[in-house]
Structure 1
């Protein structure tokens, strides 16, 4: 059974697109987006040419519930690490270094998106 789309779904999709454009503008090459498994999802898997970069994207329309980056808890970070191991195993890719970043996007209506990129966040 499918549920009706929520406003937060659209906000998340828009934020993720803003984040991907930010990463590409900084020279990263996106290898995968929204890679899903039963345990969860990797928002963006990219490379900077040296490292595999797994990016968690967090988008908010305001800071009433805290900053977007604050939504990445220890438990979420651990789940992302496990999913990254699965991605690596399935892709048969070999990387010397894997980095975990958070791209926090603040999309306040009527304002330019604010992007904070936390390299090596966890």
Structure 2
């Protein structure tokens, strides 16, 4: 997988912050959640986006409203209900495995 290094970097970053990893690349009928995690009582669906440069847009530009909606639907699908606390986050990675910058965002509905 081309962006596997970015997902590994994001996973390491979030685990260091105390998140618990529940799953990776979890597929649902609505799409895929890159990192399925838990932060205290809150379930967290994390989208990881990586771009080497801005030739095809930035990682942030890849998080469209449609993508956001699909991640949210996927999170509720994995939980099997919609009354549990769920948060959507993104880890944006700019650059290459040798030289990168990481940005961690909490996505607000």
TM-score, length of structure 2 as denominator length: 0.88
What CA deviation, in whole Å up to 9, does each residue of 1:21-58 have, x standing for no partner? 11011111111110013431111111111311110110
Q: In structure 1, what is the equivalent of residue 93 of structure 2?
A: 105
- Write the distance in 2 (CA, Å) between the matches of 1:87 and 1:16: 20
Q: Secondary structure at the match of 2:57?
A: coil
Deviation at 1:88, TM superposition (A): 0.5
- Residue 102 of structure 1 contacts residue 121 of structure 1 at CA under 8 Å; is this kept in 2? no
Within-5 A mapping of 1:37-116 = 37-89=28-80, 95=84, 97-108=85-96, 110-111=98-99, 113-116=100-103
- Residue 106 of structure 1 contacts residue 115 of structure 1 at CA under 8 Å; is this kept in 2? yes
- Residue 21 of structure 2 contacts residue 37 of structure 2 at CA under 8 Å; is this kept in 1? yes
TM-score, length of structure 1 as denominator length: 0.79
Q: What 5-or-longer segments of structure 1 have no aligned partner?
A: 1-8
Larger radius of gyration: 1
- Write the distance in 2 (CA, Å) between the matches of 1:110 and 1:52: 31
1:117 paired with 2:108, answer: no
Aligned residue-pair number: 108
Q: Considering only aligned residues, what root-mean-square deviation do their CA atoms show, in Å? A: 1.8
- Residue 104 of structure 1 contacts residue 115 of structure 1 at CA under 8 Å; is this kept in 2? yes
Q: In structure 1, what is the equivalent of residue 17 of structure 2?
A: 26
